[in-house]
Copies of this chain bind each other. A is one copy, B any other.
Amino acid sequence: MKAKITITLKNGVLDPQGAAIESALAGLGFDGAQGVRQGKVIEMKLAETDEAAARATAEEMCKKLLANPVMENYSIEILA
C-alpha cells in the first residue's frame, strides 16, 4: 500500500522558511498571501497489505523517525 505522510509545524512554532516564502511572494507582487507555513510530505510504498496495519506502521515511523512530536504534527493518508 502507499502511504502519504504530511508533517507540519505546530501552531506557534516559528517557521522561518514560511516567513521567507511569504516575503518573497510579497516581493513578486503576491501581497494577499498570509500565514505561509512550510511542511514536509513523505510518500512511500509499504509492504503491509491491509490499511489498518499500514497506518499503524506509518504512525510508528512518524513517532520514531519522521516527525518531532514536540514541535510537529503529522497526518497519515493510506492510498490503495
Q: Which residues of A contact B (CB under 8 A)?
A: 6, 8, 18, 21-22, 24-25, 28, 30-48, 57, 60-61, 64-66
What is the minimal beta-carbon distance from A72 to any residue of chain B, in angstroms? 12
Complex: A21 Cα to B18 Cα, angstroms: 23
The closest CB in chain B to the CB of A1 belongs to B32
Complex: A51 Cα to B34 Cα, angstroms: 16
Given known pairs A25-B65, A39-B40, the reply for A32 and B46 (CB within 8 Å) is yes
Contact of A57 among B32, B41, B45, B65 (CB under 8 A): B32
- Taking a contact as CB atoms under 8 Å apart, the answer to whether B39 and A8 are in contact is no
Which residues of B are found within 8 Å of A18, using beta-carbon distances? 42
- Taking a contact as CB atoms under 8 Å apart, the answer to whether A36 and B32 are in contact is no
